[in-house]
A = this chain, B = another copy of it.
Amino acid sequence: MSRDFATQTHLAHTRATDWLTAAGLRPTRQRLALAALLVGDGQDRHVTAEKLFVAAQHGGEKVSLATVYNTLRAFCDAGLLTEITVDASRSYFDTRTDDHPHFFWEDTQVLTDAPSDQLEILRLPEAPDGCEIARVDVVIRLRRPA
């Protein structure tokens, strides 16, 4: 809570590097910057390409939007992120890669984790013949009452 800036930055960098190399991805300057924003503080995050791009710029990083897109795709392919689709016009990327439920705030278009220990699925429809369940997406859409 009271670590100084240098230490925090250093930790973020280390974590980002490990995260990338563990997945066999080259830790380039751009990827490190994006990775640090995603997992630098060990917190789970849900980002859109645009939001991450803005965050990077805000942090003084020089990364192109196309690279942000390509990088997010690369991270997904490497299993570092999961893509979650709640809004047909935008993709969200989650740093948590296990199967867990989400809240989607319809007014702000924000996606967050829902406490997974509060979800108990007793029975699930079984996969039809010749199929297996790749993932179960549970999105709880929240509305602020008028």
Chain A interface, DSSP helix/strand/loop, else mixed: strand
- State whether A119 and B125 are in contact (beta carbons under 8 Å apart), knowing that A83-B88, A138-B136, A141-B135 are contacts in the complex: yes
Q: Which residues in chain A, 2-58, are within 8 Å of chain B measured between CB atoms?
A: none
Residues facing B in A77-93 (CB within 8 A) are: 83, 85-91
Number of A residues with CB within 8 Å of any CB on chain B: 42
State how many copies of this chain the complex holds: 2
Asked whether A131 is an interface residue with its Cβ less than 8 Å from the other chain, the reply is: yes
Chain B residue with minimal CB distance to A142?
A: B131
Tell me which of B86, B115, B133, B141 contacts A133 (CB under 8 A). Answer: B141
In the A-B complex, the 3 residue pairs with the smallest Cβ-Cβ separation, listed nearest first, are: A118-B125, A120-B122, A134-B143
